[in-house]
Structures are given as structure tokens and as C-alpha cells.
Structure 1
Amino acid sequence: MIRLVPTTIADEAIKNLYEEAFPEEERRPWNQQLSLVASGKLQLLRIVREDAFAGFIFYWNLPAFSFIEHFAIHPAARGGGAGTQVMQLMEAQLNGIVLEVEPPVTEQAIRRIKFYERLGYQTFAESYYQPPYYPHYPPLELRLMQKGLLPAAATFPDIKNQLYKYVYNK
């Protein structure tokens, strides 16, 4: 059974998986990540499966939706529908979810997009560039996906503007 445990403590297991699962250009510097969690702006859920660490989710509660910024399942906990269970739990507690995915140019990116599509997520057709976390990187081309947004909140420009304002301070 999967449980999502709210926490403000990002321990070594979370840090290590964060750094293994996301390349540098796709993750915020760790000290900034910790500061955002401590301030309450960024929420952190520890994923627990059978009382063992199974992963994490960093997400934002924004005015019109929730944004899952980083989500990773530990390799030892993958399989058996762990990712699906986590997303179903998130959908049950949040009103409308937006997330970023890589463009469908690698096998892993295609698998990830198909995973979310099987759960009912839809990809916006518009181009989207994530502002860089570090000054020496260019903006990163990604895709936005959503599920459960109210039509009034689901316009691409509104979503992009909220992400840029609250998550990326642009």
C-alpha cells in the first residue's frame, strides 16, 4: 500500500533520489529547494510503500491548480502500479493538476507521456519553455500536461503565467 506523508524534512534519501532522477538543468539548487519547503510555498510529500521510502513529490498549490514540479519513485519501489497509485492519491486531494514532461523525443519521455495519458492527462499543443534554474542554462523545452482543470482555468496562457510568476519568479 502506498501512502503520501507530508513533511518539511527533505532527508538524504529524498536528496539522493532527486539528484539521480533529474539532471541538473531540470532541478533547482538543493538549498533553494529546502528554503521553499521551509517557507511553505513548496509542498513535499514522502512516498512510503510498506513502511519503506519509495519516493517523493514536490508540488505547488497555485491559485487555479496544483503544479507537480518533481515526482520520482525509487527504483526499488517501481512496478506494481506504484506511480499510478501515487497519482490517483494526488488527484483525490488536489483540484486540477498541471505537470511538465520532456518532449516525446526519447523512449523514456514517450513512456512517461503515455503513463500520464493512460491516467487521463492531456498535453497542451502550445510550445512551453521552462525558465532555467541556473543562469548558465538556456530555457528548457518541455510540454505541459493537465488533468481536472476547470475550463476557465485551463487556458494555456493562464497556466503558463501562473507557473512563471509563482514557481519561477518571472
Structure 2
Amino acid sequence: MMNERDFDKIFALMEVSFPESERRTYMGQKELLSDQHYRLITETNNNNQIFAFLATWEFPMFRFVEHIAVDPIMRGSGVGGKMITKYMKESIKPILLEVEHPDTELAQRRIGFYERLGFHLNPFEYVQPPLQKGQDDLPLKIMSYPQLLTGEEFVFYKENLYRNVYKIKD
């Protein structure tokens, strides 16, 4: 089980790396630690300090990367790419992740980063349900590895995400 200090470091990294609309509250995030599908993978330095993490959901048919973040002082060093590449290499299931629409330079760069790793930007309309009370749906895109999704696969994965990650009861 993850200790309090490690969780606090991960949550602090989450706060500097993602806008409020793309993360849960502290308690909401902490509650995920008891979910059997949720897993945090961390990278630490020689002093055992966490400087990067990958938050993932492991399901029978696929894997979903919810967050990947690197300490701002370590960004651009290749750490994030190495983490996700290692994760992809150990995977026999498809991997999905959400990205912003490619209408800003930063979003385009992020999509390009994942495409260089082997992910594909799917054409389907998708929204991330609110992660905190009072927030709106967030229009995003789904990227998938190792290939583009069919319409049927997209619907299957989306329904699983909504039910298991976002706790939406249909």
C-alpha cells in the first residue's frame, strides 16, 4: 500500500501538471487507491524521491492511462517517454489515453509525442465526464495503441471507462 508522503508527492505533481478539470480532488484521488483496477507506477531518484508517475487502470480487455506526469525540473529529459514505452512493451492489451483536441500548439505537441511512441488519434467524438462536482464535461480525443479503434471497439471502451473510471451508472 502506498504511504501518505508518496501519495502527497504524486498529488502535488498532478496539481502542477494538470488543470483542475483533468484531475480529482485530493480525497477523490486518494479513494482510487482502494480500487482493484487502479495502479500508480512511479519513478524515483537515488534519494527515493518520486519525480514521475503513471496512473493507469488495468481492465481485462484493455489498459487506460489516466495521467502521466514528470516533475517540472525533469521535463524534457525523456523520462515520460521512457515510462510510457516501458509500460507499452509490457502490455499485451490495447492501451487507451485521453488528449485535448489538437487546437493549441501544446495539445498538438502532446499528440505528436504519443504518435511518435506508436499511439493513434481516433476520430470519434468523446467527452471526459466531470472529475469534480460542479464541473462540465470536457471534450477530449481518445488515442489508442497499437492501432486505431473500430467504431464498435470505441463504444465498448468508452462504456467501460464511463462505468469503471468515471463511475457513471447508465
Q: Into which bin does the TM-score normalised by the smaller protein fall?
A: 0.7 to 0.9
| Whole-Å separation in 1 of the counterparts to 2:95 and 2:147 | 7
Gaps of 5+ in 1: 1-6
Measured in 1, the distance between the counterparts of 2:95 and 2:152 equals 10
Mapped contact 1:73–1:83 kept (Cα < 8 A) = yes
Structure 1 distance, partners of 2:15, 2:64, is: 20
**More displaced 10-residue stretch of structure 1: 143-152 or 43-52:** 143-152
Within the candidate set 158, 161, 166, 1:160 is matched to 158
Name the CA distance, whole Å, in 2 between partners of 1:12 and 1:169.
24
Corresponding residue for residue 83 of structure 2:
86
Amino acid aligned to 2:38: L
Which of 120, 129, 132 matches 1:131? 129
8 Å CA contact retained: 1:62, 1:166: no
TM-score in terms of structure 1 length: 0.86
Residues 27, 133 of structure 1: 8 Å contact kept: yes
Q: Deviations over 1:109-133 (max 9, x none)?
A: 1110000011110011011001101
Distance 1:24 1:138 in 2: 11
C-alpha distance in 1 between matches for 2:62 and 2:149: 12
Q: Which has the higher strand share?
A: 1
Distance in structure 2 (CA, Å) of the matches to 1:135 and 1:34: 16
Q: Which residue of 2 aligns with 1:18?
A: 14
Q: Which has the higher contact order (CA 8 A, sep 6+)?
A: 1
Among 26, 29, 42, the residue aligned to 1:30: 26
Equivalent position amino acid for 1:73 in 2 = V
Distance in structure 1 (CA, Å) of the matches to 2:31 and 2:77: 34
The equivalent residue for 1:148 is: 146
SS of 2:123 mapped into structure 1 = coil
Inter-partner Cα distance in structure 2 for 1:112 and 1:129: 18
DSSP-derived class of the 1:104 partner = coil
Question: Mean alpha-carbon deviation: is it higher for 9-18 or for 22-31?
Answer: 9-18
List 4+ stretches of structure 1 deviating above 6 A: 149-154
Q: Secondary structure at the match of 1:11?
A: helix
Contact kept, 8 Å, 2:41 with 2:54, in 1: the verdict is: yes
- SS where residue 14 of structure 1 aligns? helix
> What amino acid sits opposite 2:20 in the alignment?
E
Q: How many pairs are equivalent?
A: 164
Is contact 2:54-2:83 (8 Å) kept? no
